[in-house]
Structure 1
Amino acid sequence: MNKLITICFFLATLFTSAQSAKKISNENDLAFKGGEWLKYRMSYSNFLNAGYSTIDVKEIKKNGKPAFHINGKGKSTGLVSVFFKVKDNYQTFISKETLKPYRFIRKINEGGYTKDKEIFFDHQKKEATVKNHKHNTEKKYPISSNIQDILSSMYFLRNQDLTNLKVGQEIELKMFFDQEINNFKLQFIGKEVIKTKFGKVSTLKFKPLVQAGRVFKEKESVTVWISNDKNKVPLKIKASLAVGSLRADLDKFKGLAHPFNIIFDN
């Protein structure tokens, strides 16, 4: 249970496309905008309320150029919080033009296990500087081009064209996390209409290929659904764990850049 809140962010960013970063020619083409706010409810084994996470977007300036500050927070609630208190914060700062991250913050407290790290990305030098504020250390690491962090990747994906994906197609991702470049794969399963608290919604369904073992039940234990519209909002994440299952559902939202398409039954 010590990864209960963190896993929501982790799973939500696993299904990121590894396409080349692109410049946004028209601001209206973006799948998100400043003021967007998403709230997810997490449950364990479909009945135990485990916690909530929120992600919000603000427009800022970086060296006089437009950028985004994306702030993700997660915390345990209810019975889970009594036995194991979790409070996590992930932040990323990305260029509005390229959607590449230039700064990443990770502050977590999971039952007393803490991390306080800050990463600065230099894409020209292909170098990441990791500052560990807990241990007062600083170290540089080589990175590949178009690298993303665990939170920026979610917003990079939302601005890619997924219309030509074929069922069974696998996509690879390179993400800088925990001082190293991690390689992930995910598979496009197809389109599916799912029930949400807002109504029925058409979605794109993915299965990230995760490592089986102590946390996940098997290699293909995770399923992710994102809205099949211009927003490409993650709507539901479900994972079969070694013990029980974890589910995250979009609970509330505001400030979407485009209409949220809900299917009304006749």
Structure 2
Amino acid sequence: MTHRVLLRGSLSFLLAVLCAPLGSQQIGIPESSARVPPSGERLHYAVEWKLITAGRATLGWSGQPSNGWQTTLHIESAGLVSKLFKVQDDYKSTLAANLCATGSQMTASEGTRRRDTRIVYNSDTRKAHYLERDLVKNAVALEKEIDIPGCVYDIIGALYHLRTLNLEPGQSVQLPLSDGKKSVNARIEAQAREEIKTPAGARKTIRHEAFLFNNVLYQRPGRVFIWLTDDRQRVPVQIRVRLQFHIGTITLLLEKEEHS
């Protein structure tokens, strides 16, 4: 397998994992523990792969509970990786006041590949409409409609929902999960308290695992871990996708955070 294939598989798969839509049902979490999401923030991450900085990722969040929310995610390759295989992907979504997704768009530029993917979530009909276009061929690559629950979160909305909860190690959240093409039930589990070193210093965190692989949402074997700060902000300081050996581990490590 060439470096180009590995790079495309790693960064593209990272974006797919981060942009899969989610829904939630809490297990053993009191309602009084819920917090309100921040009104706005930008989180900047280094993307590490095989001991090198493979790219940069910026996660954006804005809005108000009364009017709904907007999310953005930008991922681009960097350094040697960018010279071998350039990636520049952008994802955005709109969420209702309760964080349920209403729509999303992902524009992917990966080597010679150009794709535009849009998903519309209809809570009334409980349907999701998925449309993926090949921008090079100016053709529809895939179009389908699937059944969804009355409320689904995209992965960013689910991440912010998770941050509003006071999960302690041993507690979990059940997730009806969809990427617009498939709908499954999955689980996020708070596992242990750990200290994570970041460019801004050491942070006390709680490690969570999202069970998305091994024939859940994705067939391939793998694991996803999320480290949230052990405080009221619950900032995601590290996200790690661990895949099979030939692809390896992809890590997002927080470099800078901006809040408003």
TM-score normalised by structure 1 residue count:
0.76
Deviation at 1:231?
2.0
Task: State how many pairs are aligned.
Answer: 237
Output the CA distance in 2 between the equivalents of 1:203 and 1:170: 16
Deviation at 1:56?
1.3
Deviation at 1:143?
0.8
Q: Does residue 33 of the first structure (1) align with residue 39 of the second (2)? A: yes
Letter in 1 for 2:47: M
Per-residue displacement from partner, 1:180-219 (whole Å, max 9, x unpaired)?
2143333322112222222221111022334359xx9x95
Q: 1:140 aligns with which of 138, 145, 150?
A: 145
Letter in 2 for 1:72: L
Letter in 2 for 1:188: A
**Change beyond 3 A, Cα 1:121–1:57:** same
Deviation at 1:225?
0.9
Letter in 2 for 1:255: H
Q: Output aligned runs, 1:115-154, within 5 Å.
A: 115-134=115-134, 135-136=139-140, 139-154=144-159
Output the CA distance in 2 between the equivalents of 1:150 and 1:120: 15
How much is the aligned-residue C-alpha RMSD, in angstroms? 3.1
The match for 1:100 is 100
The match for 1:227 is 229
SS of 1:207's partner is: strand
Output the CA distance in 1 between the equivalents of 2:77 and 2:130: 27
Give 5+ residue unaligned stretches, structure 2: 1-6, 27-33
Identity over the aligned pairs, expressed in percent? Answer: 22
* Larger helix proportion of the pair: 2
The match for 1:207 is 209
Q: Does residue 74 of the first structure (1) align with residue 79 of the second (2)? A: no
Output the CA distance in 2 between the equivalents of 1:13 and 1:230: 25
Q: Output aligned runs, 1:228-243, within 5 Å.
A: 228-241=230-243, 242-243=245-246
Contact 1:223–1:237 under 8 Å retained in 2: yes
Output the CA distance in 1 between the equivalents of 2:229 and 2:18: 13
Deviation at 1:86?
0.8
Deviation at 1:12?
5.3
Contact 2:128–2:180 under 8 Å retained in 1: no
Output the CA distance in 2 between the equivalents of 1:17 and 1:144: 8
Deviation at 1:77?
0.7
